[in-house]
Chains A and B, each alone.
Chain A
């Protein structure tokens, strides 16, 4: 166990995704992302919709092809695998999707859904899988009577528990949570997060938690990577989030709503300028919304550089910021 403690479960090396939608209208959804997730750790990835965080998750599970770079899962490059080899990597990496309703085939009962993963991964036979499914239902605190039910008879929170149970059932090395709690009520969201933390402790799981809600992501993450326009603009320990330097992260921090906020003072129009979308030109993608943008920002794309131990920022104006 201890020898794996610091070993990287997931390593992204200059991963990029280009969507070719025509002759010269290539859209770069993700560019040059390098991240490392160590065993037992939870990496949170935050960013607004369309920033490429889901595309990144889909590339790690290879539901989308990887255009550039390498994805190392436990030291093995999975970015070009196909067919049987790819299927076998799904024993090590699982994903929980945003909408639990869409993950179930309407004709598959909850029990069968749980069994299938164990059976098709060749871990257990159908009968044994049935027993294991019962145990899994208990694990996620659902009555085993629900196993014969069909997905439309369960609530979103219950379904998401089932999905998590299935993801965990095959003991993967990495679980990707793609907005896993975004579609749920706030109270249910909290329960699910609690469950995730418990499971992580129990099985020593490694998570990549993707979300747009900084407050949710930071509660269970050890490290946080902030994405903007397909790039990681800042990476730091979750505990040091208050010391974030990048103007975009600062804006995100200021945008987190709290019930304790009152009145309209929280809405600062200057910060709310919305960009004109991704720009394919060189230069910092955030410069149009950034209040510190200078001439250099338009010329050169800032690279992620370590400012302190475990804290990297991609910005030209760091000195000014701190």
Chain B
């Protein structure tokens, strides 16, 4: 988004291709950001709106790049726009379809990390850009079975007549001079660490789920609760899926120490009497204001215990986190009502497919390889293709924004040579 904005502000045309129904990415899911505690969606939404409304940016949401040919300055990009089954020109975003959908509140909301529900007709979140509804073809009764009641409830409800089950995928051909890859990351799947029993106990959740839980726009409107169960003890476990050779994820994910500190702070703020324990291996508070924030959180009586927990099990209806407190040199069992796993960042599952499409290579960690680790951090081995954000490696928001701006600058340098200002495009 930042790269598109910079390119567009410099007077070039930018195409922004987004796989999901809305732009915003993972940041839209976060509640507050570390270490400043800015409300994530409050600072992100204006950016999204700027992108959506920018005269030089053409948004292609719910779309994927399927083919790329040509070379720097002369790329041809084939984009497949998936059918939304909603005519975006007619849709006013009123939400009547979602209200009426027979599957309303029956499907897991991806945006809420399955902590909340949605229907088959949905917007991922209220601040979506574009604010156009989408019908999920994998679940919609009409699409799956050809029948939804007598007539589809969404069609009946839509005052604009925007529902269109006859929509087909559309292929759009773009001619661009440069491509910026900003595809992000996947959250680590903690089922790969079976000792933490994620998926077996509903009160073992991931850091990203915690974000939705503590977000004012989330399924609990910001309350840290699962149901009526009282939460007295919260345990955070760091480095889940990071720094782990046994999984092939040898790298540090760079954001988990600080997002955990922030989440521990939020627990303290929202559940003042809760006991909050963070189990860690090392704390990496390396960025601006990070160490100070880590200091603050400890002062708020968050107990940091050194040790990498080995197992979670249940006893008497509560969770038990089994670890060694390595500073005491003693094995310990800590009871908890909520365990939050600080899951790391992993390369997207489609990284290899995209790498093939663009001729990119991956580094050993599986993320896209930059052209030079020191001097060409946003460029790739393919001229005219640039990297921004977590697709190149885990990073926090300011680093991702900085790389986005750098990638935009690199693209602008390329495009300036051809003098295509106000005429040409990119990603």
A is bound by B:
no
Residue numbers of A with Cβ under 8 A of B are none
